[in-house]
Structure 1
Amino acid sequence: MTTPPIPPPEPSPSSPDAEPLLSQRAALVLLMAAFIGTVVGVLTFFSASNAAGALLAGVTAFGASTLGLHKLIGR
């Protein structure tokens, strides 16, 4: 009789490889800020038909909403 192979051990939660790159809160804040920045940029482009102005408005909205959401969404 042969014995079945032993499965590799699962990584422990305390190992550095098990930690996520971003926390769920940080991912949520950045994702919502990207969505808000995209919406503002697209609406600005439709309003003014100026790509540079729309990009500037979208990036500004992303930065401002990142700061606002950081303070709004608690730890």
Structure 2
Amino acid sequence: MTTSQQPSQPSHSSAAPPPCPPPAQPGDEPFLSLHSAVVLLGAVLIGIVVGGLGHLGGVHPALAVLAGLTAAGGAVPVLRALIR
């Protein structure tokens, strides 16, 4: 019968914590905040759905685009108030 030996594991008790990341520079802020990006993405999605459904429903393509743009524009203030 043989016994299996487990490899020795290094001791982590004396290891120093990882260094902190450098502070953010003034030009490092994002172009859009996360809130704005989510609101605009939701509005674009709503506009695409409304325009696509209008087009599939037999509406002239120009009117379907207009309906999608109107829905996206109307969704921005609603999503802004809902997503907080």
TM range (shorter): 0.7 to 0.9
| Runs of 4+ residues over 4 Å off in structure 1 | none
Counterpart selection for 2:65 from 44, 55, 60: 55
The separation in 1 between residues aligned to 2:75 and 2:56, in whole angstroms, is 21
5+ residue gaps in structure 1? Answer: 1-9
Across the aligned residues of Structure 1 and Structure 2, the Cα RMSD in angstroms comes to 1.4
The separation in 2 between residues aligned to 1:53 and 1:22, in whole angstroms, is 30
Aligned residues: 64
Structure 2 length-normalised TM: 0.70
Counterpart selection for 2:28 from 18, 30, 36: 18
Q: Deviation of residue 67 (structure 1)?
A: 1.2
Higher alpha-carbon Rg: 2
Determine what percentage of the aligned residue pairs are the same residue. Answer: 44
Structure 1 length-normalised TM: 0.78
Partner deviation per Cα, 1:34-72 (whole Å, 9 max, x = no partner):
001000000000112411110010000000111110111
